Amino acid sequence: MIDVVTAPLLAGTRHGFLGRRGGVSAGIFASLNVGLGSSDVPEHVRENRARAVAAVAPGAALVTLHQVHSCTVIPVTAAFADAARPGANAARPHADAMVTATPGLALGILTADCVPILFADVGAGVIGAAHSGWKGGLGNIAAATVEAMVALGARREAITAAIGPCIARASYEVDLAFRDRFLADDPAHDRFFTPGRPGHCQFDLEGLTALRLAVAGVTRVSAPGLDTYADADRWFSYRRTTHAREPDYGRQLSVIALAD
C-alpha cells in the first residue's frame, strides 16, 4: 500500500506527499524509491515512479527536475525526458522548483530530508512545487516560486501551500558556523536555532520555510510536522543514511496536478 499524505488546503488539486512504502525496490532502497540519481535498479525506479503517479494523479505525465539546491524556478508545459541509462544526460533542467497552468502534468519533487512544498491557486488554475533544503531556505526559493506563479496568472492572496515531511528540529544538528550564515542574512533567524551540545545547535528548517511563505504573501500554509529522520519505516532520510554509513539512499516523491 502506497503511503500518501494529503493537505486539505490543496483541495481541488490532485496531490500527495508519498512515503517509502508500496514500491518494488529492495535493500536500502526499499521500497518506493523514485530517485533516478540513485544506484538503485533503473527499472525498479521507473516502476516506482509510475506507481507513485498512479496513486495520486492517474493518467498525468510526471515532470521532475535535476535538483541542485538552487533557487531557480521554471515554468513547464510538458514533461522532460529522462536519461536512457544511468550517467547519461537527461533533458531535465537544473532547477529546484516549477510552476504550471497546463492540465495533465504532475509536478514532482524528490526529497530525503529537505522540504517539499506544494502550491496551488485553484481558481486561477496554477500550481507549483519546490524543493527547499537549507540553501533553498536561505536563498528563499519559496518566494521565488510564488512570484513565478503570479507571473502565470495566480493571485498571491489566493495561493495556498503545503509543506511536506522533512527533517525536524530535533533531528537536525548543525554547527555554529552554519547558524551564523542565517544570522548574517537576518538576526531574527535566531528563532530557528536552539542550543544543542557544545558548539552545535538544532535547526528548524520547517519553521523557516513557513516564515518564508508567510513573508511572500501566502497566508494559508500547512505543515504536518513529520520528521523524515526519525521514522525509518515511513521515510527516506539522507542524514540517517549518512549516520548509518550506508552507501546510498532512496528519495520520496511529492506530487501535485491540476484536477481533471
Specify the pLDDT at position 90.
64
Q: Span 224-251, mean pLDDT?
A: 98
Contact 4, 25 (CB under 8 A): no
| CA angle in degrees (0–180, nearest 5) for 119-122-125 | 95
Q: Which of 62, 92, 95 is nearest to 80 (CA)?
A: 92
Share of the chain above pLDDT 90, in %: 95
Q: Is the pLDDT of residue 137 over 80?
A: yes
Specify the pLDDT at position 83.
55
d(CA 179, CA 72): 23
d(CA 36, CA 142): 24
d(CA 111, CA 1): 20
Contact 142, 212 (CB under 8 A): yes
d(CA 104, CA 67): 22
Specify the pLDDT at position 85.
52
Burial of 187 (0-12, 13-18, 19+ CB in 10 A): exposed
Distance of CA 36 to the CA centre of its chain: 15
Q: Is the pLDDT of residue 170 over 60?
A: yes
Specify the pLDDT at position 40.
97
* pLDDT tens digits, one per residue of 24-36: 999 999 999 999 9
- State the average pLDDT for the chain: 96
* pLDDT tens digits, one per residue of 182-220: 999 999 999 999 999 999 999 999 999 999 999 999 999
Domains of the chain, first to last = 4-168+204-251 (3.60.140.10)
Q: Span 119-141, mean pLDDT?
A: 98
- Spell 78-117 as b/e; 16+ CB within 10 A means b: ebbebeeeeeeeeebeebbbbbbbbeebbbbbbbbbbbbb
Q: Is the pLDDT of residue 52 over 70?
A: yes
pTM: 0.97
* pLDDT tens digits, one per residue of 74-123: 999 999 987 545 444 568 999 999 999 999 999 999 999 999 999 999 99
Distance of CA 120 to the CA centre of its chain: 15
C-alpha cell at position 55: 496513486
Q: Span 12-33, mean pLDDT?
A: 98
Specify the pLDDT at position 88.
47
